[in-house]
């Protein structure tokens, strides 16, 4: 297995795999040629999840796909890791950029591809979802959205196993969405309750109106403009959260993939335990 990286990875997760590292980035045609030389499958997982503008998203999520398609060998199975958000591109700049990346692959005429749309992915070493665990550990009241809103989730290890299984198959130029064993998704109250349980707490809950969530997104964007940092939460993110139903239809799912190892409760518990072991999260007094 080869990976493309700007620097030699030193993370412990790589120790059991020991991949061949090709130093470079998507704009480095020589590095891409070395990466893809003789490959049966090319998995393109590079993506930007926060940016200050749509052009910043497109630079990675669209132009990066185009570059990868141009420099990967035509016989290889090209697997694009997109996002379930691409199903609703009008909701946010992120969603629109992920859909545009899919469209760029399809329009290339390359063929022999699979597009994979993971839902919300969580797991060890994820700094973005860590904020949710930290909130569950410290906030006395946790916010919940309306009972109609549902979203599927998947642990990173299960997402990786399913993507690898799709990459090993013969390409059929199709788009598939991933999930754990609940493709119908979870209500936000379920998600917050599982988060709280994973850190040993039983908090109170408060319903958050859509207008309040949109206001929080606007404030986050304003703060980003003042600091120059890309916001992870925006008005577009709020619209994604408020979308009434991200549930997966059977036609969106591939059959015969590895069964998920983690459900919501045990997946969150394992992730929280990793955060505690690594010192990111303070251990709950009830579990000490």
Using pLDDT thresholds of 50, 70 and 90, give the confidence band for residue 10: low
Residue 176 is assigned to a structural domain of this protein: no
Q: 50 and 139 share a domain?
A: no
CA dist 64 and 115 (Å) reads 15
Residue 171 is assigned to a structural domain of this protein: no
Residue 30 is assigned to a structural domain of this protein: yes
Three-state DSSP class for residue 250 = helix
pLDDT of 9 strictly over 80: no
Reading the block at residue 101, the tokens are: 């990346």
Q: 191 and 217 share a domain?
A: yes
How many C-beta neighbours within 10 Å does residue 100 have? Answer: 21
More confident residue, 159 or 232: 159
Q: 101 and 187 share a domain?
A: no
* pLDDT tens string 53-65: 999 999 999 999 9
Q: If you count DSSP H runs as helices and E runs as strands, how many of each does the chain have, helices first?
A: 10, 12
Using pLDDT thresholds of 50, 70 and 90, give the confidence band for residue 288: very low
* pLDDT tens string 212-225: 888 888 998 888 88
* pLDDT tens string 105-150: 999 998 899 999 999 999 999 988 999 999 999 999 999 987 777 8
Q: 75 and 203 share a domain?
A: no
Q: 37 and 128 share a domain?
A: no
Q: 142 and 210 share a domain?
A: yes
pLDDT of 285 strictly over 70: no
Report, as an integer, the average pLDDT of 168-194: 95
> What's the burial of 113, exposed, middle or buried (CB within 10 Å: 0-12/13-18/19+)?
buried
Residue 48 is assigned to a structural domain of this protein: yes
* pLDDT tens string 16-57: 777 788 888 888 888 888 888 888 999 999 899 999 999 999
Reading the block at residue 151, the tokens are: 């979203």
- For residue 278, give its domain range: 123-153+182-246+262-288
Among 69, 71, 72, 81, CA closest to 105: 69
CA dist 182 and 152 (Å) reads 7
In the DSSP assignment, the letter for residue 150 is: E
pLDDT at 130: 94
Least confident of 8-12, 111-115, 245-249, 280-284: 8-12
pLDDT at 74: 80
Number of domains in the chain: 2
Domain boundary among 117, 144, 162: 117
Report, as an integer, the average pLDDT of 83-101: 97
CA dist 205 and 286 (Å) reads 20
Domain boundary among 66, 95, 117: 117
Place of tokens 């950029």: 97
User: The domain that contains 228 carries what CATH number?
Assistant: 3.90.25.10
pLDDT of 95 strictly over 80: yes
Q: 223 and 95 share a domain?
A: no
Length of the chain: 288
User: The domain that contains 12 carries what CATH number?
Assistant: 3.40.50.720
Using pLDDT thresholds of 50, 70 and 90, give the confidence band for residue 287: very low
Reading the block at residue 269, the tokens are: 């518990």
């Amino acid at each position: 297995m080869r990976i493309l990286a700007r620097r030699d990875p030193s993370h412990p997760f790589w120790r059991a795999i020991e991949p061949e590292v090709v130093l470079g980035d998507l704009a480095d045609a020589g590095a891409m040629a070395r990466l893809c030389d003789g490959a049966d499958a090319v998995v393109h997982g590079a993506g930007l999840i926060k940016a200050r503008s749509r052009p910043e998203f497109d630079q990675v999520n669209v132009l990066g796909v185009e570059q990868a398609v141009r420099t990967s060998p035509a016989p290889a199975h090209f697997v694009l890791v997109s996002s379930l958000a691409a199903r609703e591109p009008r909701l946010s700049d992120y969603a629109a950029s992920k859909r545009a990346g899919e469209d760029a692959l399809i329009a290339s005429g390359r063929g022999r591809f699979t597009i994979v749309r993971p839902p919300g992915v969580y797991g060890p070493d994820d700094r973005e979802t860590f904020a949710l665990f930290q909130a569950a550990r410290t906030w006395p009241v946790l916010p919940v959205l309306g009972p109609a809103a549902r979203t599927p989730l998947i642990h990173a290890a299960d997402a990786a196993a399913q993507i690898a299984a799709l990459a090993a198959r013969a390409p059929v130029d199709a788009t598939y969405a991933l999930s754990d064993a609940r493709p119908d998704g979870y209500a936000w109250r379920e998600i917050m309750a599982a988060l709280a349980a994973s850190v040993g707490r039983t908090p109170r809950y408060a319903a958050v109106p859509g207008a309040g969530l949109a206001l929080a997104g606007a404030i986050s964007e304003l703060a980003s403009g003042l600091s120059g940092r890309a916001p992870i939460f925006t008005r577009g993110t709020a619209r994604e959260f408020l979308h009434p139903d991200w549930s997966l239809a059977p036609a969106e799912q591939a059959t015969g993939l590895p069964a998920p190892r983690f459900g919501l409760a045990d997946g969150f518990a394992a992730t929280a335990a990793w955060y505690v072991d690594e010192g990111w999260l303070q251990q709950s007094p009830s579990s000490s």
